[in-house]
Structure 1
């Protein structure tokens, strides 16, 4: 997940908040655990678990004490995250966690029974910190988890453990996913209990034919050693994928017969079809421009197709996923229909789909549904996030399940970014608000009237000085782009100032958002405003802004071309402003933003004089197939490869004119250090001088190791000041 947040050019604080908000896969919640009635929620406080009344947060009850969370003869359990059983009697506690690529999805699990006051560890005979995605069965009598790529079930009454799959290996993966699925589809938790607690549906990935990328670790031992990563680059086949349903009594798996070549398709979404006899799944073709939804019979494995969709570019399945959980299967009408997001009419809209595949449009109009928050079938509404009038902001809306006009729920006098965690009863919600000049604030509100109940009274900070200024700029191509800038303290309009652009420019994230932290550069030591810089970002086509499908998908097969031109043409207009010094224009970005920085320096060196690029994809043919093929097509022949080459920074490296600082971690499993060396080779070939900083054995975040962050910030700041001096002239 680091790649997506650092790609997007988000500030450190905003990225951290997003990581917290999105780390909510099954049994991996770090957010709110609601009680079944929706009136209370659980939180970890001071090493114990408390229950808070959402209607009056001053009413707090200790649910499990620190003493009760202390195993005999051991220290208290450090609770990382937890879930509560349906009957509120048992608690599943995750602790001692370890990272699997992006998230700490391996760890130990303990169960506490509030009736018997008993605390015990699950899978205690398995290796330490090896359990993944443990969760209670719906009836609360068992728990299931993954360890060593196999699925286990444990009886909570007698502690007996049953291994449900036995063929898991390093390359044959049951119940979780390979690197590419995790990184690009957000898939981590790979199994689902049936509603009747008698079966478990799970993914199986066969990565045996995936080529292994060998990273070299030269710092952690006297002799270097290789670190293998299953990494299919663009043009290479993905892992084979299939879905099975294992009967927990017999241990027998029934494989779901999904049509087509299992290697040339993806299955990014799968759930039970609101009963224990059927599952529902979405299948994507390799190019990710065809989606088919199947309902599968778990008794004999047969399937029937109920929905198909085709797109000239790509189908954005990630718009239907929140932290690994599908949000497209919100069952209504007692399982007869479900809600689905689709962009087939040019906007991301909400549809009702019956089990037979009949569709009806719920949201109508020229606006995008950013995400579904809650279905309140009792009152006949669905709540969703949208921003029809300002693509930099987010608000809560509601609309009748039968369709009609959407109503804004978020207050009109709170411009900015809103998010909600709505209780199961739909009557209360935890409301979070911030904007570019107001720090994050939280309160509990009633729904649908959005009245304050308890917590901080949301107050928009109208007195903030030197806040980001939002603007629009139209390019020579007629493209109107959103932007923001932070001007220097004591700005003098009669002087000319240097500009540092922060850029991302690819479909994985926005940089121009009305959120707290906008305008702050986490890589700069000190204050850019105090030192006399204008800090700025503009956002062109291809960014995932709620501006319609045409805006987002104009970048198809044009990464490194259209997005780069939009940035450059916007900058060309901005340097005409009387207070901008056209001789001191700099740009920086991380990951996809690093790629954009390189392309801007190489393709438009007459505009950008200084660039600082971090962890960039130098050649699009080196990056993973799911991401790169989604946006650039499958490079199966020379014509297909041509688009990848045309958009890659190394193609234009010979054109470097200005000052370039390139930074990369040698232990980057996401954008491999090979990209740096390909770039270095090209710059050497054409005698283009530049500065390089390699961080030994650091990953894509370049955050590991003592002093790393401070060193990076110092390097960034000193280079910028030396090559693009601050201050008005």
Structure 2
């Protein structure tokens, strides 16, 4: 981080302790009304965040706060300065839940602003005049999102602002004084409705976008809605959803397709309006039951232990959870055909598909893996080391979490799909797995999309061709 005069001139650089090759400077901001900047420095293992105050005049830096974790740390949005810039906000999981704290400028005092057995998903607004912080949380249902507020003095219980009768997901863009907000409300069965809101009364002043036409067109299709269910696999209860075919007959046996992701970057089981659901609804129309399960470690507001349980075992614990959930569901719903179980996913979900197909061949009969990581040593250093540690410190974890290690277990039908210009998961990941499957004399199918990136949607007709390829594969093999 350097300082350049506004009128031009030479750059002066802060001398921040630590080897630049083994540390990340992840956030930097000028502190309002001062000659100081706050710099956050994350070590290579990403389990220590060192906060520095840097003086723009004398270029001195001083450490005011150090956050550590036995696993990894999340870096959150820029802190908000309070009390005439004497204090700033800080998000931490130090008590096992993601909460908001107030930290003094020198780091000597840390006061919790939110408390309880829930995660703060997002800070929406801080209103010092009224003494409240507004934030998104969902203590009772991890698939949903609601607006809450807590007092800036840290006293009292969290107060829910979103109406109790509007189940689903709420998001807010709020004015600085917390009086007005652009409010978006949606659920798995309701497309987003965007309104101008009087926050104090949570009263709609004007509907900006009702999406009524989309709602009517969707309802006219006569599709079965997502059913949100719980799956108890013994040591944890997982959230899941299921879509049944139209004209569903509980006495009939249906093939089932599991849609997976399972990595820390996202979640598939959310009570929101998702365009991708139309693809799964199409599969349901073809006679498949479609299911998705959030395993441990996914980006869900279920506390630190949930999210960090996968540390040093990406691809290992998650695939065990997915397989356990599949077995429990097959045993619980007699209409699911255990001899016709499919699985598919994209990116991390593609890796999950491979791990499940290779590690549990008796369970999964057909899989489609798209844009997958076959060997964790090939992927983005910052991402992989964050969740797995360094390769030198966790060689067995990197090995056992990589699908290519277990390729000899393949027994079912497998379709590999990858874009040759994938700049996220490089094409070599696919080539290495193909080479290994050939060495092992394993039969499989493959579709390479020339000059397509990670999304595989560039150039005319690509998306339609991809979906038709997938649909044909299911119909022929499941």
- State TM-score, norm by structure 2: 0.95
State whether residues 484 and 519 of structure 1, in contact with CA within 8 Å, keep that contact through their aligned partners in structure 2: no
Matches within 5 A, 1:218-237: none
Matches within 5 A, 1:484-495: 484-495=241-252
CA apart distance, 1:529: 2.3
Moved over 3 A (4+): 456-465
Task: Tell me whether 1:334 sits opposite 2:90 in the alignment.
Answer: no
Higher relative contact order (CA closer than 8 Å, sequence separation 6+): 1
Gapped regions of structure 2 (runs ≥ 5): none
Residue 247 of structure 1: SS of its match in structure 2?
coil
- 1:574 corresponding residue in structure 2: 329
* Partner Cα distance (2:282, 2:423) in 1: 32
Matches within 5 A, 1:201-240: none
CA apart distance, 1:465: 5.7
* Partner Cα distance (1:413, 1:535) in 2: 28
CA apart distance, 1:439: 1.1
* Partner Cα distance (1:571, 1:519) in 2: 22
Q: 1:713 aligns with which of 459, 462, 467?
A: 467
Q: 1:559 aligns with which of 314, 318, 328?
A: 314
Matches within 5 A, 1:10-29: none
Task: Tell me whether 1:693 sits opposite 2:443 in the alignment.
Answer: no
CA apart distance, 1:530: 1.9
Residue 563 of structure 1: SS of its match in structure 2?
helix
State whether residues 330 and 338 of structure 1, in contact with CA within 8 Å, keep that contact through their aligned partners in structure 2: yes
* Partner Cα distance (1:416, 1:644) in 2: 37
Q: Which has the larger radius of gyration?
A: 1
* Partner Cα distance (1:431, 1:520) in 2: 23
Q: 1:411 aligns with which of 163, 167, 172?
A: 163
- 1:265 corresponding residue in structure 2: 23
* Partner Cα distance (2:322, 2:106) in 1: 46
CA apart distance, 1:705: 1.1
When residues 309 and 641 of structure 1 are mapped into structure 2, their CA distance, relative to the original with a 3 A threshold, is same
* Partner Cα distance (1:541, 1:521) in 2: 26
CA apart distance, 1:286: 0.5
State whether residues 437 and 443 of structure 2, in contact with CA within 8 Å, keep that contact through their aligned partners in structure 1: yes
Residue 721 of structure 1: SS of its match in structure 2?
helix
CA apart distance, 1:457: 9.3
* Partner Cα distance (1:256, 1:405) in 2: 42
When residues 310 and 453 of structure 1 are mapped into structure 2, their CA distance, relative to the original with a 3 A threshold, is same
Matches within 5 A, 1:469-508: 469-475=227-233, 477-508=234-265
Q: 1:605 aligns with which of 357, 361, 374?
A: 361
CA apart distance, 1:478: 1.9
* Partner Cα distance (2:166, 2:52) in 1: 42
CA apart distance, 1:677: 0.8
When residues 546 and 469 of structure 1 are mapped into structure 2, their CA distance, relative to the original with a 3 A threshold, is same
- 2:375 corresponding residue in structure 1: 619
Q: 1:538 aligns with which of 272, 288, 293?
A: 293
CA apart distance, 1:682: 1.1
* Partner Cα distance (2:289, 2:145) in 1: 26
State whether residues 468 and 519 of structure 1, in contact with CA within 8 Å, keep that contact through their aligned partners in structure 2: no
* Partner Cα distance (1:519, 1:496) in 2: 25
Residue 646 of structure 1: SS of its match in structure 2?
helix
CA apart distance, 1:413: 0.8
Q: 2:72 aligns with which of 303, 311, 314?
A: 314
| 1:350-377 Cα deviation digits (max 9, x unpaired) | 0001101110011111000001111111
Task: Tell me whether 1:244 sits opposite 2:2 in the alignment.
Answer: yes
CA apart distance, 1:451: 1.2
- 1:447 corresponding residue in structure 2: 199
Of Structure 1 and Structure 2, which has the larger fraction of its residues in strand?
Answer: 1
- 1:302 corresponding residue in structure 2: 60
- State TM-score, norm by structure 1: 0.63
* Partner Cα distance (1:690, 1:466) in 2: 33
RMSD: 1.8
* Partner Cα distance (1:314, 1:540) in 2: 18
State whether residues 485 and 519 of structure 1, in contact with CA within 8 Å, keep that contact through their aligned partners in structure 2: no
When residues 465 and 530 of structure 1 are mapped into structure 2, their CA distance, relative to the original with a 3 A threshold, is closer
* Partner Cα distance (1:281, 1:457) in 2: 40
- 1:421 corresponding residue in structure 2: 173
| 1:264-323 Cα deviation digits (max 9, x unpaired) | 110111101123400001111100001111110011211111111111100011xx13xx
CA apart distance, 1:518: 7.3
When residues 252 and 274 of structure 1 are mapped into structure 2, their CA distance, relative to the original with a 3 A threshold, is same
State whether residues 667 and 697 of structure 1, in contact with CA within 8 Å, keep that contact through their aligned partners in structure 2: yes
* Partner Cα distance (1:456, 1:601) in 2: 46
- 1:81 corresponding residue in structure 2: none
- 1:595 corresponding residue in structure 2: 351
* Partner Cα distance (1:457, 1:288) in 2: 41
State whether residues 433 and 458 of structure 1, in contact with CA within 8 Å, keep that contact through their aligned partners in structure 2: no
State whether residues 263 and 314 of structure 2, in contact with CA within 8 Å, keep that contact through their aligned partners in structure 1: yes
Matches within 5 A, 1:127-138: none
- 1:104 corresponding residue in structure 2: none
| 1:144-197 Cα deviation digits (max 9, x unpaired) | xxxxxxxxxxxxxxxxxxxxxxxxxxxxxxxxxxxxxxxxxxxxxxxxxxxxxx
CA apart distance, 1:458: 7.6
Residue 369 of structure 1: SS of its match in structure 2?
coil
Residue 397 of structure 2: SS of its match in structure 1?
helix
* Partner Cα distance (1:420, 1:596) in 2: 33
When residues 386 and 459 of structure 1 are mapped into structure 2, their CA distance, relative to the original with a 3 A threshold, is farther
- 1:529 corresponding residue in structure 2: 284
Q: 1:284 aligns with which of 36, 42, 45?
A: 42
State whether residues 602 and 655 of structure 1, in contact with CA within 8 Å, keep that contact through their aligned partners in structure 2: yes
| 1:673-720 Cα deviation digits (max 9, x unpaired) | 000011001111111100000111111011111111111011010001
CA apart distance, 1:517: 2.4
- 1:112 corresponding residue in structure 2: none
* Partner Cα distance (2:259, 2:275) in 1: 11
* Partner Cα distance (1:387, 1:308) in 2: 28
State whether residues 504 and 511 of structure 1, in contact with CA within 8 Å, keep that contact through their aligned partners in structure 2: yes
Q: State how many pairs are aligned.
A: 469
Residue 472 of structure 1: SS of its match in structure 2?
strand
